[in-house]
Amino acid sequence: MKCLFLAVLIAGLVMPIFAQDVPAHRFASGNWGFVGPRLQQNDAGARLARVNFTVPQSGAMIYEFNARYEGGSEDGQGGFGIHIFADNALNAASWGVGRSYLLWLNYDENPGSQGIPRGLSAQVYRSINHSQMVLVESISLNEYLPLLEANLDCAIPFRIVADGDTGEVRIFDPSDPDLSNYFYFFIDRRDLPLRGNFVAIRTNGMRVSFGMGLE
């Protein structure tokens, strides 16, 4: 199988993770597979679907990928995200992924947590271990909901810049064609410097496919 999926910038050098062959990976939970060049999670009922990739990470990193909605949120709930700087990864369903940070895009018409806005939102979680995560940031993205609904068939580009030494993380606005606007936060300095050997992509309650780069 071949898949051009995720690119990482390390110390100023672009290094494609999926250059020709898929790197070491495990489909930890959910129903994952490749549809052409795209990696797709096909089980809309899977709440903790995840695939783990072995990717050494340290210092300044940039993660670029695109995600396309494939269905399954008709029940009013769904989400997907990426764990970065994970020190280890369980090859089974789990709430957290070792010591890592989860960047999460969420849609929930009736959220069960006070910290999660109704509708479209984004969260940052600090994963403590495989069973514990702490909410770090949560913001409403409902202003983008009409734009998202009008472009459900399109792959949405994501660019995330994270510095494991300084703790600064920038998440660029995918609706900005120049990707010049971004939301940022700082990782808890007690966790620095961040080092990790895994990146994990996960989905919750919907089908999503992923591709490399911003297109």
- CATH code of the domain in which 90 resides: 2.60.120.560
Q: Which residue positions in the chain have pLDDT lower than 50?
A: 1-20
In a domain? residue 1: no
Q: Which of 77, 30, 85, 15 is CA-nearest to residue 210?
A: 30
What's the confidence (pLDDT) of residue 215? 57
In a domain? residue 48: yes
What's the confidence (pLDDT) of residue 146? 92
Q: How many domains does the chain have?
A: 1
In a domain? residue 114: yes
Q: Give the global pTM.
A: 0.89
In a domain? residue 17: yes
Q: Say which residue the tokens 């369903």 belong to.
A: 93
In a domain? residue 2: no
In a domain? residue 112: yes
What stretches of the chain adopt beta strand conformation (E)? 7-10, 13-16, 25-29, 32-35, 38-41, 49-58, 60-71, 77-86, 100-108, 119-127, 133-140, 156-163, 168-172, 182-186, 195-204, 207-212
The whole domain housing 162 covers 7-212
Q: Amino acid identity of 136? A: V
